[in-house]
Structure 1
């Protein structure tokens, strides 16, 4: 095993530190904690470590490790876990532990925190995430111990850990990071920003308003979070169905009113009719400043309002926004312990409503057209929470003193109060359309929506795209987001564009699907069901299969509603289940005719905690940012026995079409077979549970065709080898068994000492090959067509004198397409000659 406590200052690290302009004095602070040799049988005097395992650790494995003094606290990237071990404990010898390294300051300081503390300010404004077993009083003590103060205290009660915005001496940042109570040090709070009849036609909503569907969202509650103000609840299109929970001092906002109309406008102006025109809408404030706990509390409480789907046409301003530099571009497509982890925790724990997020409008923002050569631009000031009025420019000779103050560049002279020169020596990084999806839009359990144009369904140029940093598919869906006509304040109407306009299309569709689900099943669908229904019904656009531009395709309300109606409670389209760690579940489906087959597996994954600053391993590459905890795998076995894998994408080649393989990245997996032949298909779900609080994972499986049949169960298993053959089968005993797959083989045995021996076999929907053999040389093989019978017979004893008892083996296997049941019967016929006993003589 590998054990590491030290900070290894490598060329990679120095490059990173230089990129963020770390002062030499700050580097000197690192030197006192450079590697110290550890005794081979003792751990460093610390509590928290990163444990790496070769396999995922479920609740059972976690309990076993706890008995050894290792408290598994959080899943991290891949098969890595944050654990707590008692001080000075002996090195564990558990075979499940591949490596164990101290979780020290080298892992804790995020890139945006480095940028903040090296600006030259005496005090840095930072966000601190504490270990989950730290109380508020302990967190406060840690901040005060380094001479800092709490800016705005906030704790996400549902996630169980303290999150504080603080001001600390810049020079004390490393000391704070070394505190065992601290999990991570992040930069200042991010800046929140705001990101229809034609839309209804494009996403096939209009047919649902009339027979046989007659859907309008009546009785359905939706919700919305907006950052800039409340919807105009007095708008005539809302008819009192929009309820605002904003503070009375917050203004009426056009963006909020427009988004609300796309969801629930009654259609007094037919061109502005919403997707769920009779639904009720609960509106909440997303702009809570540093109080992220208030946002999470509001999200967690949505179930009490009965919300089925929740719209979020907002995210954080990152990297470039127009010609304003916001910084923190590394969060695009990312997963943050401060925002993403509690967000996914709430979604996973509550199970409803479905959280819908706009993908963002940053596809073209990453490389702004600045006037050359000085590139005048603005900065967002996180101390004042507004755009700085000064003009920043790029130095051309590296002195930081050559930027012109005259027109047309008008570069500001001097420096900010934090010591940053307006004439900058370093250019800010740029980015392409790839991995431009927003931070909150990159959470695992939300459904993220991009924007398309109404003509030709081309992607809107501004629409943010994936992949996420760990390669997940985002956005999952697209909808119309250009020239969207909807409500405006004061009973007005207007057309605007953005993914803010496409997200409420999907949220409104979710309202209609909820209404249809209630009609069909008599209950409300949970969020994983709604998300999987939306994806399973989507109309594929762009490259075949999912891609990082259109996701799984254009939201199609009618197709998703038809999946519900076609199932009609029979399980012919929709199945739910629970899979345990290492378990495989086989769900057979029979197709009566050839068709394009689409199978979608979906689940909500537990939250994961990623390191703020992953550093190189001793013997591995950079710690992966993989966020998947419970890795379910889908495969489809066709009637010929061939296995079809789901689509997989390559995050390093984001424009390359999807290939087939094992998907270890996404919480949605899709298998498509273009011309699926008639016959029985086996949808197989396998579980690998990495959540240390559970041993299983719930899932939703949806297919667009076929009829589900009862899973194959054979009471005579396991009998797949001669060594495990079922027996001793009595003469005239009828065995009713099943061939469950193309690879399934059944063995039976009985013992006799006379001839002849016969075995009668009747096949139903599966053609069979039957082989009868013994330790003697005679072997009989018989092929039996489906729905036919045959008898195998043989004389195993060539002489009148029996050689003794011998074992007869019968092997049954498929000889063609496995049917829906695979059932057959087998009946042996033989006699057993008993040798008469001789009475013993007594003397």
Structure 2
């Protein structure tokens, strides 16, 4: 990976994670890592699922041929690149037309802050990572922006302009800088949407982490009961993600807000734009992405945001929080399939979705760099929702879900893991609870979330208008308690979709979050469940921020001192603080480069020192890559074997401030010290390389005629301390 992160950051945090986890830090999704994911799955269950989808595909194709025989057009292509295809048949016999979700009319997710020279300067670009893309046809893999990193993964002969555009927004390398993709070093595995469920299940079983789906059911060709309904295709994708818990599907919400297509919404009138989500966008386990118009500041902060006027709004019928997140769907320049060097601009949730997908891929890359493993999909999803920028009223809404994707905040939460944040993957057995007590960081917001990949819902809507039967199978609950007070998670009411979120018992969402403003003191977080649990357990991910997880301190270390000396070297020591990693730097006096060593202990041995040379050392505390103290004041010593003693001044070269001067300066034959000194004062003349080349009593004139021309440091040590100044020998 081409990572230009400063040397200290790479060395320090890599050492920190090595000490914490004791394994090699790899980069990218290697064959071995995919095998680890593969081996954790129940492949008999996945094989049954693939067989079920294959049988269903044959039946579906037969029904589609029947519609074609009656004169139905199965494929339409429009000048703006939009594709409409008869792709499925609903349980009620409705022909389901899928369409790409661009609207003919990178920075928003803050992915740019993760690049080399970005605000966090993490050197992330997706190198070694793979992302699946299903769309209307496959991408033009020979485009100059892909450089061999886009693969036609199902042998489709149908090259799609929309698929090329979406793939470009994910992985374009930046031949045309304004068209650079979000994860511009990654590989895209592109597929025609015809067999999406079968192929995605196979890919997930083989370790695929993420896929992007910027298409969906055409909203003007279905009965009103379809809007917001949990139907078979919703259930099928939940099955896939539950069977392959590292796999996360990201979908575009759609562009139907102003369509007036739903005459019977669950809330308001069709002009309000609510209740427009269809098909797999209503699945529980995936991420559904809305389009947003945003303004981002120079420090990556969200300055303003509003839902795009085209973006389809929730809720889904059972009241779950959908869409989940918002991304940038404004006019995006991306690759075109006309030629290998052509580009085009478009807008819509088709572009918002890959912006989020690419950001999530970078976060998986970063997690693997830090901790040597990938996150389960529930953890990745929870991380994105936990760190999203809230918009308008506090809490989620049915327009942009939990807010605008913020990859910078998500990466910082990972950096602070086990310091001021928690990211834990746990299992809740049926009948049990999980509890943890944490101290809040004073004057911060304590935020705790749980996220889980839920088994598919048992109820499938087959024609009932706005049926609110919950799709949730395993109902987990998070609560925070302190001094007899209980704090509840956010929830929304689909019958009052325009209202702000409230706090209470959330019965429908597989993600719950509690926020406590200005938290102070100790709080207990408890995870429990209602009723039984399918399979007798439920895996879940716990995310916490704003807590004092460890006792690590980023105060400047105190009392750095010389503990002992021998003929081989010296031992330095300092006051210890709990759970803190230290970086000790030392060098020969006046050398440009420091040598660095990382230690958990509060002492360090320095060996292979040269007798007669002056050394200096400094120290700092490290809790995370972003939580690092300033360096301590430097200490200096002349190495004399067992007779080594600490020089008790702060820094060589500041003698002028300590009232030490010499004249003449520049010197020719002799220099005279101008300072109040005792008869015991001693001097040393030190080269810029740190070598002591002359020493003696600091009384009267000092002969420098034997010195070569150049810059030197005069060090004078007396009972009052040590002083120094520079002089030039001409």
Q: Fold conserved (TM > 0.5)?
A: yes
Query: Contact conserved, 1:302 with 1:353, CA < 8 A, in 2?
Result: no
Please name the residue that 1:315 is paired with. 216
Please name the residue that 1:662 is paired with. 505
Counterpart of 1:237 in 2: which secondary structure?
coil
* Counterpart-to-counterpart distance in 2, 1:357 and 1:470: 19
One of 542, 556, 562 as aligned partner of 1:701: 542
Please name the residue that 2:53 is paired with. 156
One of 192, 201, 222 as aligned partner of 2:107: 201
Please name the residue that 1:421 is paired with. none
Query: Contact conserved, 1:266 with 1:273, CA < 8 A, in 2?
Result: yes
Query: Normalising by the residue count of structure 1, what TM-score does the alignment of the two structures yield?
Result: 0.51
* Counterpart-to-counterpart distance in 1, 2:392 and 2:56: 38
Please name the residue that 1:296 is paired with. 197
Correspondence 1:453 to 2:293: yes
* Counterpart-to-counterpart distance in 2, 1:160 and 1:237: 34
Shift of 1:709: 7.4
**Change beyond 3 A, Cα 1:450–1:615:** closer
* Counterpart-to-counterpart distance in 1, 2:381 and 2:536: 23
**Change beyond 3 A, Cα 1:661–1:266:** same
Correspondence 1:488 to 2:336: yes
Q: Deviations over 1:520-563 (max 9, x none)?
A: 11012221111111111111113210110110010001111111
**Change beyond 3 A, Cα 1:156–1:708:** same
* Counterpart-to-counterpart distance in 2, 1:159 and 1:166: 11
Matches within 5 A, 1:183-582: 185-195=91-101, 200-210=106-116, 212-227=121-136, 229-250=137-158, 252-286=159-193, 288=194, 294-303=195-204, 306-318=207-219, 320=220, 326-337=221-232, 339-366=233-260, 432-455=272-295, 456-489=304-337, 490=339, 491-567=341-417, 572-582=421-431
**Change beyond 3 A, Cα 1:672–1:167:** closer
* Counterpart-to-counterpart distance in 2, 1:509 and 1:689: 36
* Counterpart-to-counterpart distance in 1, 2:149 and 2:420: 35
Matches within 5 A, 1:429-828: 432-455=272-295, 456-489=304-337, 490=339, 491-567=341-417, 572-613=421-462, 624-638=468-482, 640-677=483-520, 679-688=521-530, 690-692=532-534, 694-708=535-549
Query: Contact conserved, 1:264 with 1:277, CA < 8 A, in 2?
Result: yes
Q: Deviations over 1:729-784 (max 9, x none)?
A: xxxxxxxxxxxxxxxxxxxxxxxxxxxxxxxxxxxxxxxxxxxxxxxxxxxxxxxx
Shift of 1:614: 7.6
Counterpart of 2:170 in 1: which secondary structure?
helix
Query: Contact conserved, 2:384 with 2:410, CA < 8 A, in 1?
Result: yes
Counterpart of 2:416 in 1: which secondary structure?
helix
**Change beyond 3 A, Cα 1:189–1:155:** farther
Query: Contact conserved, 1:359 with 1:463, CA < 8 A, in 2?
Result: yes
* Counterpart-to-counterpart distance in 2, 1:559 and 1:539: 9
Shift of 1:667: 0.6
Q: Deviations over 1:221-247 (max 9, x none)?
A: 1111002x2211111111110101244
Q: Deviations over 1:555-609 (max 9, x none)?
A: 00111111111116x7942122111233221122212422012221100110123
Q: CA RMSD in A?
A: 3.2
Query: Contact conserved, 2:133 with 2:211, CA < 8 A, in 1?
Result: yes
Please name the residue that 1:415 is paired with. none
* Counterpart-to-counterpart distance in 2, 1:557 and 1:625: 34
Shift of 1:352: 2.7
* Counterpart-to-counterpart distance in 2, 1:545 and 1:562: 21
**Change beyond 3 A, Cα 1:248–1:360:** closer
Shift of 1:651: 0.6
* Counterpart-to-counterpart distance in 1, 2:502 and 2:444: 21
**Change beyond 3 A, Cα 1:657–1:698:** same
Q: Deviations over 1:701-731 (max 9, x none)?
A: 1112213479xxxxxxxxxxxxxxxxxxxxx
**Change beyond 3 A, Cα 1:272–1:626:** same
Aligned length: 461
**Change beyond 3 A, Cα 1:454–1:154:** same
* Counterpart-to-counterpart distance in 1, 2:139 and 2:57: 32
Query: Contact conserved, 2:226 with 2:463, CA < 8 A, in 1?
Result: no
Unaligned runs of 5+ in 1: 1-131, 136-152, 171-183, 289-293, 321-325, 370-428, 617-621, 711-843
Matches within 5 A, 1:49-128: none
Counterpart of 1:656 in 2: which secondary structure?
coil
**Change beyond 3 A, Cα 1:650–1:689:** same
**Change beyond 3 A, Cα 1:689–1:231:** farther
Query: Contact conserved, 1:312 with 1:358, CA < 8 A, in 2?
Result: yes
**Change beyond 3 A, Cα 1:634–1:188:** same
* Counterpart-to-counterpart distance in 1, 2:530 and 2:57: 26
